[in-house]
């Protein structure tokens, strides 16, 4: 059930942030009506003339009644909805970028910046009601301004079936010689596992795609930070583990370095398969250590 605080989004300043084109794509009256139809609401029944913000207000009211406000918010910050906005405002020519994963990296980076900006502007209004909006695990929530954000679990749990499915897809990529996609899957697996462990232990972290930050938080939670009391062999093993995670988090193939700040390295089939298998073994290890702490 959607909490009553989502009614606070129906105020004009917040609606303007959604539709005025400053941060999100501009929504004309027809755009809003079409969006309403897409969600199953006929806003064309409203008597003309009607302002854009009144149309959006009615849309938000209808969505809130049906506990669907989050669906709209997620759509407004979805990569599909934001892609053209990101390209135009950042002068990005996606046709000149040959690797899909590189495009996705750019889109995700800019999308995160947009979400942070939107939250800032929403919260500048919500603070007057002593409320604050949070965004984690692709879900928006509104809580008291003085409270910590609610921890919301991933929709898909990382388990043996999930890992097996990802490995199968990675093997298909290997057969197709799509080694860049293999690396992306390896990174995604580690990122997802680290985030799951963090949220399983009721902790918070900024979701910015920084695998090393996630890993450091996991080490803090699981007590895996090295100390002088450790057995030397354990210290050596954890050090090697850290090196593997660091390498996988930084690795790009010869086309996928979004910032072109380091020497690019071509990845061949053997290395791509090694990276995928290493990610699986590392991920399983962290999940088992996490289970010991429950």
Across 197-215, b (16+ Cβ under 10 Å) vs e yields bbbbbeeebebeeebeebb
Give 3-state DSSP helix, strand, coil % of the chain, rounded to 5: 65, 5, 30
Q: What pLDDT, on a 0 to 100 scale, did the predictor assign at position 15?
A: 96
Q: Can the peptide bond before residue 125 be classed as cis, meaning omega within 30 degrees of 0?
A: no
Residue 93: its pLDDT value, please? Answer: 58
pLDDT of residue 152: 47
pLDDT of 11 reads: 94
What per-residue confidence (pLDDT) applies to 260?
39
10-residue mean pLDDT series, the chain (294 residues): 84 94 92 94 86 94 92 90 75 54 68 90 92 83 72 59 79 84 84 86 78 88 74 76 78 42 62 88 88 79
In sequence order, what are the residues at sequence separation of 6 or more whose Cβ sits closer than 8 angstroms to the Cβ of residue 265? 251, 252, 253, 254
DSSP state letter for 10: G
Residue 34: closest CA among 52, 20, 17: 52
**For residue 94, what pLDDT is reported?**
53
- pTM for the full predicted model: 0.51
The predicted structure's pLDDT at residue 33: 94
Listed in sequence order, the residues at least 6 apart from 117 whose beta carbon sits closer than 8 Å to its beta carbon are 23
Give the per-residue pLDDT at 268.
84
Length of the chain in terms of residues written? 294
- The domain locations on the chain are 4-144, 160-292
Those residues with Cβ within 8 angstroms of residue 274's Cβ, 6 or more apart along the chain or in another chain: none
Cα–Cα distance measured from residue 193 to residue 202, given in angstroms and rounded to the nearest whole number? 14
Q: Which token pair is 190?
A: 């580690």
Residue 171 Rama label (left phi>0; alpha psi -120 to 50; beta) = alpha
pLDDT at 252: 47
């Amino acid at each position: 059930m959607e909490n009553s605080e989502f009614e606070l989004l129906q105020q004009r300043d917040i609606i303007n942030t959604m539709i005025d084109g400053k941060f999100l794509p501009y929504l004309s009256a027809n755009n809003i009506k079409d969006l309403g139809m897409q969600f199953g609401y006929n806003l064309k029944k409203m008597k003309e003339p009607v302002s854009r913000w009144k149309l959006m207000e009615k849309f938000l009211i209808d969505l809130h009644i049906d506990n669907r406000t989050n669906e709209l918010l997620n759509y407004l910050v979805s990569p599909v909805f934001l892609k053209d906005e990101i390209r135009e405002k950042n002068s990005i020519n996606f046709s000149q970028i040959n690797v899909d994963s590189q495009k996705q990296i750019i889109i995700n980076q800019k999308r995160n910046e947009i979400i942070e900006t939107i939250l800032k502007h929403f919260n500048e209004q919500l603070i007057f009601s002593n409320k604050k909006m949070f965004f984690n695990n692709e879900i928006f929530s509104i809580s008291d301004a003085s409270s910590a954000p609610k921890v919301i679990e991933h929709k898909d749990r990382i388990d043996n079936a999930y890992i097996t499915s990802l490995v199968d897809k990675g093997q298909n990529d290997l057969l197709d010689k799509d080694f860049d996609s293999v690396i992306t899957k390896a990174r995604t697996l580690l990122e997802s596992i680290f985030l799951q462990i963090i949220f399983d232990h009721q902790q918070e972290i900024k979701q910015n795609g920084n695998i090393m930050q996630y890993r450091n938080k996991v080490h803090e939670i699981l007590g895996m930070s090295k100390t002088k009391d450790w057995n030397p062999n354990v210290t050596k093993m954890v050090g090697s583990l850290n090196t593997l995670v660091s390498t996988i988090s930084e690795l790009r193939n010869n086309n996928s370095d979004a910032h072109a700040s380091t020497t690019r390295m071509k990845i061949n089939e053997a290395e791509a398969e090694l990276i995928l298998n290493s990610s699986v073994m590392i991920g399983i290890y962290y999940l088992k250590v996490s289970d010991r702490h429950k």
